[in-house]
Structure formats: C-alpha cells, structure tokens
Amino acid sequence: MKWIKRSYVSLILLIMYAPVAVLMVFSFNDSKLPIWKGFTLDWYSKVFSDTGIKQAILYTLIVALVSSLIATVIGTLAAMGIHRMTGWQKRLAINVTYIPMLSPDIVIGISLMMLFNVLHIPFGLPSLIISHITFSIPYVIFAVMPKLKQMNYNLYEAALDLGASPWYAFKKVILPEIMPGVLAGTFIAFTLSIDDFVVSFFNKGAGVDTLPIKIYSMARKGVNPTINAVSTLMFATIIIVLVVSNLKANQKVKEAKMQ
C-alpha cells in the first residue's frame, strides 16, 4: 500500500508543478517560440537590463519588506490581545480575523480602493503598502497564536513579580517563546506581498508597478521569454523564503527542546 500512497502523492505534485517546471525550462530556451533550440541566459540578462523590470522589482521588494515588518508588529500585538480574551469576545475576534483570509482578493482590493477614495488618500506607494499590510495581518495573527497557546504565561507574571518591567519581561520571556510563530508570520506576509496581483492592481498609483503587474502587462503584448525568466526568479525567491522560514522554525523548536 505504501507504493500506492507514494504514487498518488507523486502524481499530485506532478500536476501541481509540471507547468512551473515547463516555464523554468523554457526560460533558458534560445528561442521566442515554445520549441527547444538550445541553452541560453540571454533572457535573464535582459531582465536585469530592462529598466521597467528593475523598477518593478525594486517596488516589489520595498512593499514586501515594509508591509511584512509592519504587519508582523501589528499582528503579533493583536494575537497577544486576542489570546488574553475569553468567551464570546475571543470567538468574535477570531471570526472577524478570518474574514479577510476567506474573502476574495477582488473584494479586498475594491473595498480598499473605495476606502482610499473616501479618505482622499492618493494612490501610490503608500496606498500600496497599506493595502498589503491589511491583508497580511490576519496571517501573522494565526501564525503567532499557536505559539501563545503553547507558552506558559505564568513565566511572564513571575518576571513581573521579580521586578522586571512589562517591556523587559515581554522581550526576555514572551518574545523568545513566540519567535518561531513571529518569523513564520513575517515570511508568510513577505511571500503573499511578493505574489499579490489583484489587491495591488486596484490600489497602485500611476508608474508604481509591482512585479506581478509588470508581468501581466508584458504578457498582454504577446509571448515573451523574458516573462519566463522573471517568473522563474519569483518562484525561486518564494521557495528560498519558505525554506529559510522552515529551517528557522525547526531550529527554534530544537533549541527549545534542548533547554
């Protein structure tokens, strides 16, 4: 029966990643047509020589870094607040937090666009960062909350009884305990920000294009192997981020067990 399970899992992975594998292979193809003619790195050199793509990469990294860091701070504090709630208030807060995660991206994008219009907030880099923070916060909250449940809160109260200030007790007692969840939430928010298209499309300003939006505009003009190279770089970046986050989380777990 083991071979059946392994075959089934292999088939699912093949279906999921076969299109990505084809895209990555043809990013090294020495032809604009989807016919293999030889190996080349020309499309990657064009990626880094294209001013528009470089600017899109810069905007993507700025938005992803800033939004993920701010969302991590807000989400961690919100998770701590929700964790300390009890009864119907806690259930209500958790259910409300789920709503942005379950809502379609187009609903979030249009609602944020309308909000910015009502508040007369100009569309540009700030509106883009705010929108990314908004949809990233719930993921950070639900990444941190399991670690808060595992933590012994009596340690924090003991630190206060021994004379530690609330900030010092948080920094030395709570933060090390929940750090794996905080890092996981940060990397999830960073990955979601890099990958987002719909919310960014509705809330960006003129000339502020993220990489997914740039790829979309390039794809509308026809088949361009540069798109394959850009998409491959995005996929590789996300994989690296996920691997690093998992390694960090596993290292923290091992260190906790050794202590």
**Whole-number pLDDT of residue 73:** 92
Q: Which domains does the chain have, with CATH numbers?
A: 51-86+93-258 (1.10.3720.10)
**Is residue 200 scored above 70 in pLDDT?**
yes
Torsion, Cα of 200, 201, 206, 212 (10° steps): 80
Per-residue confidence (pLDDT) for residue 168, from 0 to 100: 78
The pLDDT value given to residue 256 = 60
Residue 97 φ then ψ, to 5°: -65, -30
Q: Which residues on neighbouring strands pair with residue 170, listed in sequence order?
A: none
Distance, in Å, from the CA atom of 94 to the CA atom of 89, rounded to the nearest integer, reads 9
Residue 39 φ/ψ, nearest 5 degrees: -90, 140
Q: What is the pLDDT of residue 72?
A: 93
Instruction: Extract the tokens encoding 161.
Output: 């009884």
**pLDDT(253) > 70:** no
102-156 confidence digits (pLDDT tens): 888 888 889 999 988 888 888 888 889 999 999 899 999 988 888 888 877 777 7
Q: What 3-state DSSP class applies to 20?
A: helix
- Max distance between CA atoms of the chain, in angstroms, equals 72
- pLDDT tier, 258 (very low <50, low <70, confident <90, very high otherwise): low
d(CA 11, CA 9): 5
Question: Residue 70 pLDDT more than 90?
Answer: yes
* pLDDT level of residue 97 (50, 70, 90 thresholds): confident
Question: CA-CA distance, 127 to 136, in Å (whole number)?
Answer: 14
**pLDDT above 90 coverage of the chain, percent:** 10
Predicted local confidence at residue 25, as pLDDT:
83
Q: Which residue has the higher pLDDT, 7 or 250?
A: 7
61 φ/ψ sector (left φ>0, alpha ψ -120 to 50, else beta): alpha
pLDDT of residue 66: 93
